[in-house]
Structure formats: structure tokens, C-alpha cells
Structure 1
Amino acid sequence: MENPVIIFGADGIAKAAQEIFDSNQVIVYGFLDDSVSLHNQQINGVTVLGATDDAGYLKLIGKKAEAFVAVDENAYRKGLVKMINEKRKKMPVNAIHKFVNIPESVFLGHGNFINAGVLVGANAKISNHCIVNSGAIIDHEVVLEDFVQIGAGSIINAGVHIGAEAFIGAGVTVVSGVTIGEGARVGAGSVVITDVSSGQTVFGNPAKPVEK
């Protein structure tokens, strides 16, 4: 990546994203965040420049800088991606740590966060704006749709299909061939052996629906 990157968000995974770009020798131009209390503060030597809709910095996207959305709350993340798409006609770049294993056969979309130690198997698909935390295993022919989040150390076995905006907690195991529906949530440490319906929350070993 030739241009520096502006990180949207300055908390949570934003600091990890900065470390990822540093690991790849990509310059972080600055952070943009809607929390006024963070403005003008520095994160590891990089300044929080202003709000996410600051026109003076937005106009740099696609010309002198790239964008990455480092927000893990999906509604907020989607809103920022939409703004960048509409105002700058650009997609956020990927933040992929140098210590990951992604074969050439993997389909990789835009705006994904993939942290250190992640292993991805052959012919997997990671769509757009997914978050894959440290040490997760995404086995061969797994499909992650847009805005999926995978917790640290989770193991997603071969042929699993995870629908858009699904959330998989830390340390989860999903057995081969399972389908997890759109917007579903899997609690940390669960073992998923059967399909999970869209919007459903499951937890346990084996994972079972959580009564609301």
C-alpha cells in the first residue's frame, strides 16, 4: 500500500489496527472518532484528528490516503462504510497482520480486520468488513459473509457457512458443514454441532438456543 491510511475509530480494535498497519510498514496518517474527548489525543504517537465526518480529512480518501473502519459495533461500522462509499466512492482497505497465513486460493473482500496468528484454509471466502480476531482458524471452503465477527481462538471447521452480521464469540468450535444464519450469535466457548437459525443466539457444549 503506497498511501498512508486514516483509521475510522480510535478505541478497541483501532489500536490493534494501528499495530497491524505498523507491522506491514504502512503509515497511519491519523484517527477519526466521534468522541470529542478523544480529539487531539495521541495513540502510540498518532493523533486523533477529529470526527469521522470531518470533510477536510474525508477529501483525502482515495487521493492521498486510504481508509480503514476500526469499529466492532456493526450498525456503526456499516454506517461509516456507507459514508465512505457514498462520499468518496471508495472501499476501505484490509488490515491484515503480517503474521497470518492466507493461501492465494482464498477470496478476500474489502475492509476486513484479520489479526495476528489467524490461519485460513484453501478456497475459503472472507467477504467484506469482517473481523477475525487473533489466533482464529478459518478452515478450507469456509464462507464468511459481510460483517461477520470471529472471536479470538475460535475454530471454524471446513465447509461452514456463516451468514452476514453473525457473531462468533472467543474460543468457539464450529464443526464441519454447519450453517450459521444471518445475525446469529454464538456465545464464547461454545461447540456448535448443528445449524443455527438466522437471528438465533446459542451457547454451550453442545450449543443450544438461549431463551430470550
Structure 2
Amino acid sequence: MEKPVIIFGAKGIAHPALEIFNSNEVMVYGFLEEDESMHGTEINTVSVLGNPEDDGFLKLIGQKAEAFVAVDDMKYRKFLVELLNERRKVQPINAIHNTAYISTDAVIGHGNFINAKVTIGTAAEIGQHCILHTGAIVDHKAKLGDFVQIGAGSIINAEVTVEEGAFIGSGVTVVSGVTIGKNARVGAGSVVISSVGANETVFGNPAAKIK
């Protein structure tokens, strides 16, 4: 990648995102963060420059720099992606750690955060703007929708479908063929043996619905 990257957000996954770009020898120009108390500070020698909505910085995106959205909160993540789409006509790039394994015939969208030791299997499909934490496994023919978050060490087995906006905590096992519905939430350490409906929250072994 020839252009440096500006990271949107300076909390949550922002520091790991910087480490990912460093692992690939990609220069990070700086961070943009809405929390003004962080402006002028540094994360591992890289400066927090200003606000994500500042046109002075936004105008660099697409011409002189790439953008990556490093925000955990899905609502704000969507807002920043739409900001870049509408005002700069660009999609955020992927941040993929150099120790991640991605099958040559997996399909991956834009703006994804794929941390160290993640494995993405054959014919798996990853949507856009997903967050895959350290050591997550997405097995063959599994499908993740847009804005899905998978916790560290979780296993998404073969032919599982995880729909848009779903959140899967750390150390979860989802057995083959199950569907996790849109905006559903799966608590850490759960074992999911049957499909989860849209907007449902489940937890436990086997995972059960929480009202």
C-alpha cells in the first residue's frame, strides 16, 4: 500500500489497528477522534490529530491517504463509514494482521478488522466493516454479514450464517449450519447449537435466550 492510513477513532480497537498496519509496514499518518481531550496526545508515537468530521483532515482521504474506521460501537462505526462514503466517495480499507490466515478463495469485503491469528477458511464470506478479534476462526463456507463482531478465540463452524450487526462474544462456539440473526448477541463462552433469531440475546452451554 503506497498511501499512509488515517485511523478514525483512537479508543477500543484503534491501538490494535495501528499494530496491524505496523505489522504490514504500512505508515499510519494519525488518528481522528471525537473526544477532544485526546487531541494532541499520542498512541505509540502516532498523534491524535483532531475530529473525524474536520474537513481539513477529511480532504486528505482518497487523494493522499486511506481511511480505516477503528470504532467498536456499531452505530458510530456506521456513521463514520457513511461519512466517508458520502463526503469522500471512498470505502475504508481492511486492516488484516500479517499473522492471520485467509484462504485463497475466501471472499472479503471492505473495512474489516482482522486481528492476529484469525483463520478464515475456504469459500468463507466476510461482509464489510466486520471486527474479528484475536484467534477467531471462521470455517469453510461460513458467511458473515456486514458490521458483525466476533470475539477473541470464537469458532464459527462450517456453513454458519451470521447476519448483519450480530455480536458474538469471546470464546463462543457456533456449531455447523446454525444461523445467527440480524443484531443478535451471543454471550462470551456460549455454545450455540440452534439458530438464534434477529435481535435475540443468548448465553450459556447450550445457549439459551435471555429475556
Scaled by the length of structure 1, the TM-score of the pair is 0.99
Which blocks of at least 5 consecutive residues in structure 2 are unaligned? none
* Residue in 2 that maps onto 1:36: 36
Identity %: 62
Q: Offset at 1:103?
A: 1.1
Which blocks of at least 5 consecutive residues in structure 1 are unaligned? none
- The answer to whether residue 116 in structure 2 is matched with residue 116 in structure 1 is yes
* Residue in 1 that maps onto 2:59: 59
* Residue in 2 that maps onto 1:149: 149
Alpha-carbon distance in 2 for matches of 1:89, 1:129: 16
1:61 is aligned with what amino acid? I
After superposition, the C-alpha distances for 1:113-166 in whole angstroms (9 at most, x for unaligned) are 000000111000001000000001100000000000000000000000000000
- The answer to whether residue 8 in structure 2 is matched with residue 13 in structure 1 is no
Aligned pairs, how many? Answer: 211
Alpha-carbon distance in 1 for matches of 2:42, 2:190: 38
Provide the alpha-carbon RMSD of the alignment.
0.4
Q: Offset at 1:104?
A: 1.3
| Helix, strand or coil at the partner of 1:47 | strand
| Helix, strand or coil at the partner of 1:31 | strand
1:131 is aligned with what amino acid? I
Alpha-carbon distance in 2 for matches of 1:16, 1:144: 21
Alpha-carbon distance in 1 for matches of 2:30, 2:41: 11
* Residue in 1 that maps onto 2:24: 24
* Residue in 1 that maps onto 2:85: 85
Alpha-carbon distance in 2 for matches of 1:42, 1:204: 40
* Residue in 2 that maps onto 1:191: 191
